[in-house]
Copies of this chain bind each other. A is one copy, B any other.
Amino acid sequence: MTTDPLVVFTPSGKRGTFPIGTPILTAARQLGVDLDSVCGGRGICSKCQITPSYGEFSKLGVSVEQDALSEWNAVEQRYKDKRGLIDGRRLGCQATVQGDVVIDVPPESQVHKQVVRKRAEARDIKMTPSTRLFYVEVAEPDMHEPSGDMERLIEALEQQWTITGVQTDLHILQQMQPILRKGNWKVTVAVHLGDAAHAPKIMHIWPGYYDGTVYGLAVDLGSTTIAAHLCDLKTGEVVASSGIMNPQIRFGEDLMSRVSYAMMNSGGDQEMTQAVREGMNALFTQIATEAEIDKALIVDAVFVCNPVMHHLFLGIDPFELGQAPFALATSNALSLRAAELDLNIHPAARVYLLPCIAGHVGADAAAVALSEAPDKSEDLVLVVDVGTNAEILLGNKEKVLACSSPTGPAFEGAQITNGQRAAPGAIERVEINPDTKDPRFRVIGSDLWSDEEGFDLAIATSGITGICGSGIIEAIAEMRMAGILDASGLIGSAEQVGSTRCIADGRTNSYLLWDGTAEGGPKITVTNPDIRAIQMAKAALYSGARLLMDKFGVDQVDRVVLAGAFGAHISAKHAMVLGMIPDCKLEHVTSAGNAAGTGARIALLNTDARREIENTVRRIEKIETAVEPRFQEHFVNASAIPNAVDPFPILAETVTLPSANFNAGAASSNASGSRRRRRRS
């Protein structure tokens, strides 16, 4: 009695015996091995490429002879001649089992391949895209068994791909009949596979075998910018990325001014809805042009945004979000059609919006949670997405808390005397010599420090135009470390500090960072109002985090993740000196980049992640800072630099902060401390 040959698949390790002559694709399907195929084994699509291994595999207990697979056949040869095939590769639908064999499925032949994320600590994205391509052969119409062409197409999908309950939109019905005939009853269909609430749906249909792909968009709709990644739904690859300013800016710089605009102007919300949708369409046109693809091939889109953007994008008046109790119209994730939102991609494209966590903690925060997965963390992680509003998550596998805190635009360089957006010419890094009290700095556009040779030349084009968000944080933290600034936020006078860079400026002092007036440039100073603005912003951020720590019952966190573009440029040490973030080992403070955008991309490529984040959001405990009595107390304490009450013992191990107090000195009559006292009287 001869036994059937053994087939072992790697990397899955799945194995089974199969009769001689079984195609490898068939064996893979029967074992549930993830081996792709669009044409269903007809030797057309070549998606099922595999690599047989020969020789002795003691670990697997298999010995593979040279004739373990059927000989190279005409279909494979034709494919190789036409398109090329990597040496050693075979087509899984053509090669048949002849003896024991070990078959490797390369990543590009896997449906659920992993898309590698760049950061080391990030989990890779498993591909389970919403929409896949299927090649089918459709039965021709028969007068004796009359049925619609669509019914026979759906039957083909069911019989050849076991996809059941497929539905379709009118636009497919309207174009399908000539396509079926053009393809001689062989067509490729893009099927949106649906979910618990939505049946699978035919999105597109091509005559014959369509050797292309379909695309999806991951969109991060911010108050200031709209950024989109165009992704190949087959490979997961980002084929183009692009961004534009949010055209709503003309109605107000920040969220609350936009809510006000809607309240003060009848139809104002609709104006803003139209503006953002038009901007979105301009962006999509731009990104499709860049990638040189037809916009109609974009069949899926995921959006993340804060609640106000969310409502305005959907055409919902954000009125209720402008006042307690900050009631969202809807907090659940939404599945819509692109056409409903006037988006000019595929007319039946699906649009997915992540759930909102609360009235102030939006789908963007949910996307950060999806990307950074605090709910899967063994240690206690604080995730902070810094923007004009900070979204804060604190948690581990046990539970996750969330809140938002109104940091205002100071961190983005707004409301700062010489502040500017991060752009060439902006001071982004600062060091102050504690002995001389003199600064050196770096400017966006050059890697040289200002005291290094060639700096003047390097910045000749951009000049030195101002200071950006990360620059002001470093400047203030350095001032604090160099004894120029005291814990209460007062800049010392020239006498107190012993530096002529400290200049009396009205009732307070300013610190001169750069005097460019000789070259016709600006004089860049850090003023006391700048310090106040940053104090307010960082106190808001810290007190939000502290409140969550209270609720969690901890005094310390294991690690801190800074999300957002700003978080990517911030120096952990300086942020901690400033008391922006809780005390923590510096090496445990990491940047996640645009985590909200990454979350959108995960939800786009891995539809399972959508259910996952919906469940996670449901379990997240929401803390409304506005009604928490301790928030105010934390805020007042956090106004000090780093903090009036909370010790920073880990920081103290590396940094010693001078204990200056400029309120009691010669400049006291000008200090804000005395101003405060006057106000109280």
Contact = CB atoms under 8 A, between A and B. Distances in A.
Interface string A316-342: 110110001111111110001000110
Given A177-B317, A316-B173, A316-B177, A327 B148 contact: yes
Interface stretch (A409-417, A593-601, A622-630): A622-630
A214 to B, nearest CB: 22
Interface centre among A147, A359, A626 (most CB of B within 10 A): A147
A151 B327 CA distance: 11
Nearest to A328: B148
A170 B339 CA distance: 11
Nearest to A153: B330
Interface string A640-666: 000000000000000000000000000
A151 B332 contact: yes
Interface string A188-215: 0000000001010000000000000000
Contact of A330 (B143, B151, B316, B317): B151
A20 interface: no
Contact of A326 (B143, B336, B358): B143
A265 interface: no
Contact of A143 (B178, B320, B325): B325
Nearest to A147: B331
B146 A328 contact: yes
Contacts of A328: 146-149
A394 B591 CA distance: 75
A199 B199 contact: no
A89 B324 CA distance: 47
Interface residues of A, number: 49
A199 B332 CA distance: 16
B336 A177 contact: no
A332 B146 contact: no
A142 interface: yes
Contact of A356 (B143, B148, B317): B148
Contacts of A150: 329-332
A315 interface: yes
Contact of A331 (B146, B178, B320): B146
B143 A324 contact: yes
Contacts of A330: 148-151, 173
Interface centre among A176, A325, A340 (most CB of B within 10 A): A325
Contacts of A177: 316-317, 319-320, 327, 329
A314 interface: yes
A140 B327 CA distance: 9
Given A330-B151, A331-B148, A141 B314 contact: no
B176 A624 contact: no
Contacts of A173: 314, 316, 329-330
A169 to B, nearest CB: 8
A328 B147 CA distance: 7
A50 to B, nearest CB: 38
A174 interface: yes
A622 to B, nearest CB: 5
B197 A165 contact: yes
Nearest to A197: B199
B144 A627 contact: yes
Contacts of A358: 146
Contacts of A336: 170
A668 interface: no
A559 B647 CA distance: 97
A632 interface: no
A552 to B, nearest CB: 17
Contacts of A626: 143
Nearest to A168: B330
A10 interface: no
A263 to B, nearest CB: 13
Nearest to A320: B177
A167 interface: yes
A151 B331 contact: yes
Interface centre among A177, A199, A317, A359 (most CB of B within 10 A): A177
A153 B549 CA distance: 33
A331 B178 CA distance: 17
Contacts of A357: 146
B149 A327 contact: yes
A197 B143 contact: no
Nearest to A270: B174
A315 to B, nearest CB: 5
Nearest to A618: B147
Contacts of A147: 328, 331
Contact of A149 (B169, B324, B329, B340): B329
A197 B166 CA distance: 10
A609 B553 CA distance: 60
A382 B165 CA distance: 35
A9 B314 CA distance: 49
Given A141-B325, A144-B624, 18 more contacts: A142-B325, A143-B326, A146-B325, A146-B326, A146-B358, A146-B622, A147-B331, A148-B328, A148-B356, A149-B330, A150-B331, A151-B331, A170-B314, A173-B329, A173-B330, A174-B314, A177-B320, A177-B329
Closest 9 CB pairs of A and B: A146-B358, A148-B331, A141-B327, A148-B330, A150-B330, A148-B328, A143-B624, A143-B325, A141-B325
9 contacts: A141-B325, A144-B624, A146-B331, A148-B328, A148-B330, A165-B197, A169-B340, A177-B316, A178-B317
